[in-house]
Amino acid sequence: MQTPLFLRLTLLLAGLFPAARAADFTGDVTAVRTIRHMDQHPGASELWEPYLAQWKGKHLVAAFGVKIPGKTDMGDIVASISTDDGDHWEYPVMIFDHRERQGTLQFAYANAILFKPPGQDVLWAFAMRCPMNYRHSEDSQLVAAYSADGGRSWTPVELAMGYTGPLICVAGPYAFTENGHTRYLFPMHRNTRRNDPLGSRDHFILSSSSLLEWNLASFIPQPTSGPKVFLHEGNLAAGDTPGEIKMVMRTADYEDERKMTDPPRAFSTVSQDGGRTWSPARPESALWNAKSKAFYGRATDGTHLYVYNDGPASPAPTGRMALRYKLQSPDGTWGPEKTFYAAGIHNSYPTLIEVAPGDFRGVWDSGTAERTRTHIQFGKFRVPPAAAKASP
């Protein structure tokens, strides 16, 4: 189908002007740009939960959700491209469209995830697919699409699922080599307890060797002492010892997800056998978490990075405002809290990628002082060399 003239002109003009620069802010992130504002999406109630991937060199792809009014967290998933390391962003293209019916069924989507497999010239997009008659996406299925042209067009894929229950995904797959073959682990959780008193709130891991077929690898054990914890939205990264995989998770009270843990802390778990078994979850005493997704990752030099919201949990009027970060020192202890981005406005759901050793690019959703998730922001961040430690 030929692209309409007005759309071709829009795409052309989109690459001629820089993305909007952010208002005054404090923090160690630089080159902050606004990728997209909800005013550019008539009828949308929010723009939320962005994800970022590097295609090649300065070619970046950012995916995010365009929310449908009346839904808690459901809408379309779109992607925007930058070919100059984030200074300009093109008009977004659709990845998952809630208006497209599949027979008599109609779905909405949530939680954009991008993933470029190592050594492959294919970019994957994952998301959650949920029937349109649902109020929220707590009972979703995994859906995927791929792009072979750097995010300019997308082909949907039906996945072969060995796990067939409800799931929620927030962080992308983790790739590693085992016995000469690449394996992928995908962190998931479920929250069927929200609408079913006999449901559960569990964190689990899916495993694949192809990205097309996913099977249940394991569940994350609850802490060995104390109350049960609602473990969710975990990020996977290489751990502190050779072969170790570590996941740091968002938390909440297990029985009442509206409450934080006491004290509000992220929890972690590690695997020494390729994700087949995991240690009981334990609190990370130095890592704050107030019911909000945080980013946990590892730089090439071995430095671990944690980017998170300070302050109270949302929906408190001052919830999810500034983004802070911590770096892990060579002896394994976490350093002092530093400011990633603060502008007196709402910010949440940061995701970062390393494009060169110690050089990160990040995206997150932002709002105003009174309103959440009105626009998607991009920025650059460097892990200081002084924070480096030996790779495991």
Average pLDDT, the chain: 92
Residue 170 tokens read as 């927030």
For residue 245, pLDDT over 60 is answered with yes
Residue keyed to tokens 């990628």 = 353
- How high is the pLDDT of residue 355? 97
pLDDT band at 155 (very low <50, low <70, confident <90, very high): very high
For residue 389, pLDDT over 80 is answered with no
Query: Domain map of the chain by residue range?
Result: 27-387
Residue 25 vs residues 48, 340, 341: alpha-carbon distances, Å: 20, 10, 7
Cβ atoms of 112 and 17 closer than 8 Å:
no
Percent of residues, the chain, with pLDDT higher than 90: 84
Mean pLDDT of 153-182: 96
pLDDT band at 75 (very low <50, low <70, confident <90, very high): very high
- How high is the pLDDT of residue 391? 42
pLDDT in tens, 283-324: 999 999 999 999 999 999 999 999 999 999 998 999 999 999
| CA angle, 367 then 376 then 357, to 5° | 125
Residue 358 tokens read as 């110690």
- How high is the pLDDT of residue 14? 45
Residue keyed to tokens 């042209």 = 149
How many angstroms separate the CA atoms of 7 and 68, rounded? 23
In the chain, DSSP finds a helix count (H) and a strand count (E) of: 1, 27
Indicate yes or no: pTM above 0.85.
Answer: yes
For residue 17, pLDDT over 50 is answered with no
Mean pLDDT of 134-156: 94
- How high is the pLDDT of residue 20? 67
- How high is the pLDDT of residue 331? 78
Mean pLDDT of 13-28: 68
Pairing assessment for the beta strands 295-298 and 282-288 based on DSSP bridges:
unpaired
pLDDT in tens, 22-48: 668 999 999 999 999 999 999 999 999
Residue keyed to tokens 């995908």 = 186
Cβ atoms of 272 and 244 closer than 8 Å:
yes
Q: Which of residues 376 and 197 earns the better pLDDT score?
A: 376
- How high is the pLDDT of residue 22? 63
The CATH number assigned to the domain with range 27-387 reads: 2.120.10.10
Question: Which amino acid makes up residue 156?
Answer: P
pLDDT band at 280 (very low <50, low <70, confident <90, very high): very high
- How high is the pLDDT of residue 352? 98
- How high is the pLDDT of residue 220? 98
- How high is the pLDDT of residue 135? 83
Residue 269 tokens read as 């778990």
